[in-house]
Structure 1
Amino acid sequence: MRMAALDPRDHRRDPDGETAGFADLAGSPSRADRDRIAVSPFFARLGGVTQVVSAGGSGLLHNRLTHSIKVAQVARAIAERINASADADLAQKLGGLDPDVVEAASLAHDLGHPPFGHLGERTLDRIARNRFGLADGFEGNAQTFRIITTTDVRGPSAAGLDLTAAVRAAVLKYPWARLHVPVPHPSTMEVPPRGAAEPDDAPGTGSSKFSAYVTELDDFAQARAPFAARVEYWQQTVEASVMDTADDIAYAIHDLQDFHRIGVLQHATVAAELGEWAEHRSELSRLDDATVSERSRRPGFSLERLRRRLQLKDSWIVDDDAFGEAVARVREALVEGLLGSAFDGSLEAEQATAAFSARWTSRLVEGVSLIASPPPRSGHVTLNTAQWHEVQVLKFVHRRFVLLRPDLALHQRGQAALVSTLVDALEAWLGDRDEVFRLPRRLHDLVELAHGEYRELARTAPELLVGATGDRVEGADAVRGLARGRAVVDFVASLTDKQAVTLLDALSGRASQPWSDSFVL
């Protein structure tokens, strides 16, 4: 791939190509990038993709679109705050901090989320690795990078959005591939960056989080090249770090609002957990790990497990006193404040919910700082000690009292089965010689695109073309098999929740009307 001058803010993949679609309305490249993302059909589809649970048309719950917009708001506020502070010079030395870049990256950061959110992500990863033999499986962050560089059609060669290097680099929350790249791979570090380590339950599969498939390594290298002398090869750019921090802040606050609204987050259970830990923290700290784990369903014990897990993984910032103060602050604001009264749709309830969000967003944004030499598990942009602990406690409440609910698990098991069955049906269609010519045009195009990519890898970098077991993939049929698998995964990942359900209904003969969704067909 031809490399242009290394100015990340005015460096597109194909700077001499003709502009496709409509003319950019913005004067600066970064604002043009933001506009390209905002008009992408992949961005529009996020309105129909689950954040945690389906909104069911109520308009009350966040989806991936509203979440992305709020992340962009928070990220821009962080960038502007840093640029107006004494840290502005440091930000420039580290590669620059453009509010338009962080806003664009924030809008783009969830483009790769498949139907049904993280549940769909885990299901597609398992299918991609175990059924299709794709060593890099599926990962929402890597799928985002694939969309903006390959499968969207805004660029001059109808491949990707042709974004500047700065925005592409800012989307790379985990700047490595699952395996092999870069060398040495961050997973081999004594203290791996957050997300780089292998999952405990899947040794040998590579990093649990990563931001590029082997098919996008040229774009990955080009996006990172302008920052090579500014940040370590395994570190986020400053702009990616802002986006990542903003994502954490939005996630910690807004999902709690949602589940208070619909009555899932209950005062009594949250109050018992936080209150019991605060009252008995000394006794809990003296128990052995096995006892704490065995009693994790009792109030206070799950929070104690969190404290110990943070000590183990994030000793660079964890402080027991700060943890205790964070529990007290969250208890006062969330338990005695927001959850103190049931949400009844009244103006008073709406005002309380809005005030909770505004206060916490302001507090967390004010707690952001820029550091020159962060530890491996932190970016250059991080929260101060007090706010960092508060985010951990807020996220704990969300996980403990929402994500681990049996009724949500029941719902998600059904969604996982739906995704798996849909992949089965599409794979069978691809293998049906009598019907393959009537494939949805988009799926046909994705097969051809992936086939070209994997043939090129087999020719130029065969060492990267390995199956899920680590064996070299050789032969035209094996390469085409990888391409078909990647294409099916790309296709399913591009659907909304509703499209996935109705497409499976159509394929299984349950639909009463012909399928007519032009984006899918």
Structure 2
Amino acid sequence: MPTNSAEDPRARRRDHDRQDARAARSSAADLASSPFRIDRDRIAASPFFARLGGVTQVVSAGGAGLLHNRLTHSLKVAQVARAIAERLAGSPDTAELAEKLGGCDPDVAEAAALAHDLGHPPFGHLGEQVLDRLARHRYGLADGFEGNAQTFRILTTTDVRGPAAIGLDLTAAVRAAVLKYPWARLHVPDPHPSAMRVPPRGAAEPESSPGTGASKFSAYCTELDDFAQARAPFSGRLEHWQQTVEASVMDTADDIAYAIHDLQDFHRIGVLQHASVAAELGQWSAHMAELSELDAGTLAAERRKPGYSLERLRRRMHAKDRWIVDDEAFAMAVARVRGELVDDLLAGAFDGSIEAEQATAAFSARWTARLVDGVSLTPSPSTRSGHVMLRPAQWHEVQVLKFVHRRFVLLRPDLALHQRGQASLVSTLVDALDAWLVDRDEASRLPRRLHDLVELAHREYSLLARDTPELLVGATGEPIRGQDEVRGLARGRAVVDFVASLTDKQAVSLLDALSGRASQPWSDSFVL
């Protein structure tokens, strides 16, 4: 998309940006000499990174004991990503292939892993869903809200720590490595991967929302020039829908960390109970042949019976991932998880003793090593996988570990009760900020950051409405007409950007202040 430096606030950075993914640059304020180390350091020094310490991983950390938050999760993903990248780059069998595909630099993989959750709003995936619904239905933003796309927007636009004060001025390699889902919700690239016979993971439209575009994506229409620029050096090396090798390393590391560390958390606080997990895995193993003969209706109706949910998982895997799923490997994965998680870790309640701490640490270390050892690099992956993938045994084990987390943590009624309250909070906060923005008598007293975000978004959407209005059109096909509609889009994006930049605690405190429930004046400084 053409840019005009007099109108576009990011043009100044683009004018001197690197066309080569491996080109070097430095700033007087940077401590490292390697361009990728500079990128990693800028991400780690960003206040958007620091705020992840106050953002939910699964449940809010405050008052819930020693639980992962988005910051500690990101640090562990970075640790695993670096280990994987060093293995691939250090092995003659994989280093040559990685270089042909665009490279596998450990600093790039680590930087992408540190950055991958920057766009997560307050209350994690729940906040993401609420903001997406409000962005699309209230403000008419065709690409809504998505945590991965918000990450890319922060790195290229709303953070101001780069030399040009627009984004972080990262190399193309690191920007491309952050693109876990290298497409927009709609339109880009063309043909869109959602139209493929077997779409990449995340590219298909949600069954419940036809016409809304990909369920997961990594760039809004406002960042498509940065998206194209980041992907350009990999043209001819990768298919238009494929992750870079370094993005695939980050994605695999995220899966590994998620599969292990959340289970640790919920064992610590007594949520993950031995009896229920043992019954589910044990009953499936004992009756797998009979369960395989049941019709889908019976499985769905009786899903609370031990073994039934696991059988439903096996069938979903066959439906979505025929390229790798194997019943024997699945049964072996269930047996391994049963032996090491149920019969070993969960057999003894976590009581805070040295013995309990050592058992938890040993479980994490053993599984991390096993899964990292199971990583391979392939020249021709399935559309459902990146070039970096787990071997079949480990892939099935990750699916079973993630199933345990979902079945016995995420689907708990008490967690649902808590999350419904959080969803209401986010929605009410958006209402309150939107009302403030349209109140002409109070417009001069807006939080300065919200004011700046409105101005930025207005410039962005004005350019899009003038040059590429088709990017602002969603499933309805209705074109954007006039400055009033542009201002409405800008107001929506600014409110979403603002709310997404808060920690869980800031969101609660700000709503208390706006609703008159706070006993003291608002005093929390907005570092973002």
TM over 0.5, shorter chain: yes
What is the alpha-carbon distance in structure 1 between the residues aligned to residue 509 and residue 181 of structure 2?
34
Determine helix, strand or coil for the equivalent of 1:382.
strand
Match of 2:73 in 1: 67
Q: 1:52 aligns with which of 43, 51, 58?
A: 58
Determine helix, strand or coil for the equivalent of 1:113.
coil
Q: 1:266 aligns with which of 260, 273, 277?
A: 273
What is the alpha-carbon distance in structure 2 between the residues aligned to residue 508 and residue 286 of structure 1?
56
1:161 aligns with 2:174: no
Match of 1:372 in 2: 379
What is the alpha-carbon distance in structure 1 between the residues aligned to residue 527 and residue 495 of structure 2?
12
1:43 aligns with 2:49: yes
Q: 1:77 aligns with which of 58, 63, 83?
A: 83
1:29 aligns with 2:42: no
Match of 1:248 in 2: 255
Spell out the pairing of 1:279-428 with structure 2 (5 A cutoff): 279-428=286-435
**Cα deviations by residue, 1:17-48 (Å, 9 ceiling, x for unpaired):** xx5xx611011000000000001000000000
Q: Does the 8 Å CA contact 1:48/1:496 hold for their aligned counterparts?
A: yes
Structure 1 pair 468–150 and aligned structure 2 pair: CA distance change class (3 A):
farther
What is the alpha-carbon distance in structure 1 between the residues aligned to residue 435 and residue 286 of structure 2?
58
What is the alpha-carbon distance in structure 2 between the residues aligned to residue 33 and residue 468 of structure 1?
37
Q: Does the 8 Å CA contact 1:368/1:381 hold for their aligned counterparts?
A: yes
Query: TM-score normalised to the size of structure 1?
Result: 0.97
Structure 1 pair 94–133 and aligned structure 2 pair: CA distance change class (3 A):
same
What is the alpha-carbon distance in structure 1 between the residues aligned to residue 266 and residue 422 of structure 2?
20
Q: Counterpart amino acid of 2:85? A: A
Moved more, 249-258 or 55-64: 55-64
User: Percent of aligned pairs with the same residue?
Assistant: 80
1:9 aligns with 2:22: yes
Q: 2:525 aligns with which of 510, 518, 521?
A: 518
**Cα deviations by residue, 1:365-411 (Å, 9 ceiling, x for unpaired):** 00000000101000000000000000000000000000000000000
Q: Counterpart amino acid of 1:53? A: V
Structure 1 pair 310–510 and aligned structure 2 pair: CA distance change class (3 A):
same
What is the alpha-carbon distance in structure 1 between the residues aligned to residue 520 and residue 463 of structure 2?
41
Instruction: Report how many aligned residue pairs link the two structures.
Output: 514
Determine helix, strand or coil for the equivalent of 1:336.
helix
Q: Counterpart amino acid of 2:46? A: S
1:103 aligns with 2:110: yes
**Cα deviations by residue, 1:251-306 (Å, 9 ceiling, x for unpaired):** 00000000000000000000000000000000000111111111111100000000
Q: Does the 8 Å CA contact 1:467/1:473 hold for their aligned counterparts?
A: no
What is the alpha-carbon distance in structure 2 between the residues aligned to residue 3 and residue 468 of structure 1?
36
What is the alpha-carbon distance in structure 2 between the residues aligned to residue 360 and residue 96 of structure 1?
27
Q: 2:205 aligns with which of 185, 194, 198?
A: 198
What is the alpha-carbon distance in structure 2 between the residues aligned to residue 11 and residue 482 of structure 1?
37
Structure 1 pair 62–4 and aligned structure 2 pair: CA distance change class (3 A):
closer
What is the alpha-carbon distance in structure 2 between the residues aligned to residue 137 and residue 6 of structure 1?
29
What is the alpha-carbon distance in structure 1 between the residues aligned to residue 476 and residue 407 of structure 2?
35
Q: Counterpart amino acid of 2:460? A: E
**Structure 2 unaligned runs (5+)?**
4-14
Q: Does the 8 Å CA contact 1:135/1:470 hold for their aligned counterparts?
A: no
Structure 1 pair 265–326 and aligned structure 2 pair: CA distance change class (3 A):
same
Following TM superposition, by how much is the alpha carbon of 1:78 offset from its aligned partner in structure 2, in angstroms? 0.3
Match of 1:87 in 2: 94
Following TM superposition, by how much is the alpha carbon of 1:468 offset from its aligned partner in structure 2, in angstroms? 6.0
What is the alpha-carbon distance in structure 1 between the residues aligned to residue 35 and residue 22 of structure 2?
7
What is the alpha-carbon distance in structure 1 between the residues aligned to residue 112 and residue 467 of structure 2?
31
**Cα deviations by residue, 1:169-206 (Å, 9 ceiling, x for unpaired):** 00000000000000000000000000000001000000
Q: Counterpart amino acid of 1:186? A: P
Q: Does the 8 Å CA contact 1:75/1:106 hold for their aligned counterparts?
A: yes
Following TM superposition, by how much is the alpha carbon of 1:325 offset from its aligned partner in structure 2, in angstroms? 0.1
1:227 aligns with 2:240: no
Match of 1:484 in 2: 491
1:129 aligns with 2:142: no
Q: Counterpart amino acid of 1:68? A: S
Following TM superposition, by how much is the alpha carbon of 1:99 offset from its aligned partner in structure 2, in angstroms? 0.1
Q: Counterpart amino acid of 1:313? A: K
Q: Does the 8 Å CA contact 1:134/1:468 hold for their aligned counterparts?
A: no
Q: 1:181 aligns with which of 188, 192, 202?
A: 188
Following TM superposition, by how much is the alpha carbon of 1:10 offset from its aligned partner in structure 2, in angstroms? 2.2
Determine helix, strand or coil for the equivalent of 1:337.
helix
Spell out the pairing of 1:208-219 with structure 2 (5 A cutoff): 208-219=215-226
What is the alpha-carbon distance in structure 1 between the residues aligned to residue 293 and residue 213 of structure 2?
36
Following TM superposition, by how much is the alpha carbon of 1:467 offset from its aligned partner in structure 2, in angstroms? 4.6
Q: Does the 8 Å CA contact 2:65/2:269 hold for their aligned counterparts?
A: no
Q: Does the 8 Å CA contact 1:419/1:500 hold for their aligned counterparts?
A: yes
Determine helix, strand or coil for the equivalent of 2:270.
coil
What is the alpha-carbon distance in structure 2 between the residues aligned to residue 59 and residue 148 of structure 1?
32
Following TM superposition, by how much is the alpha carbon of 1:495 offset from its aligned partner in structure 2, in angstroms? 0.1
What is the alpha-carbon distance in structure 1 between the residues aligned to residue 233 and residue 202 of structure 2?
23
Q: 2:516 aligns with which of 498, 506, 509?
A: 509
Q: Does the 8 Å CA contact 2:74/2:113 hold for their aligned counterparts?
A: yes
What is the alpha-carbon distance in structure 2 between the residues aligned to residue 229 and residue 4 of structure 1?
21
1:442 aligns with 2:449: yes
Q: Does the 8 Å CA contact 2:212/2:474 hold for their aligned counterparts?
A: no
Q: Does the 8 Å CA contact 1:114/1:493 hold for their aligned counterparts?
A: yes
**Cα deviations by residue, 1:146-167 (Å, 9 ceiling, x for unpaired):** 0000000012221101100000
What is the alpha-carbon distance in structure 2 between the residues aligned to residue 467 and residue 169 of structure 1?
25
Structure 1 pair 320–467 and aligned structure 2 pair: CA distance change class (3 A):
closer
What is the alpha-carbon distance in structure 2 between the residues aligned to residue 514 and residue 470 of structure 1?
45
1:496 aligns with 2:503: yes
What is the alpha-carbon distance in structure 2 between the residues aligned to residue 112 and residue 476 of structure 1?
28
RMSD of aligned Cα (Å): 1.2
Q: Does the 8 Å CA contact 2:122/2:500 hold for their aligned counterparts?
A: yes
What is the alpha-carbon distance in structure 2 between the residues aligned to residue 109 and residue 82 of structure 1?
20
What is the alpha-carbon distance in structure 2 between the residues aligned to residue 363 and residue 520 of structure 1?
40
Q: Does the 8 Å CA contact 2:52/2:69 hold for their aligned counterparts?
A: yes
Query: TM-score normalised to the size of structure 2?
Result: 0.96
Q: Does the 8 Å CA contact 1:176/1:182 hold for their aligned counterparts?
A: yes
What is the alpha-carbon distance in structure 1 between the residues aligned to residue 38 and residue 295 of structure 2?
56
1:462 aligns with 2:475: no
Following TM superposition, by how much is the alpha carbon of 1:229 offset from its aligned partner in structure 2, in angstroms? 1.2
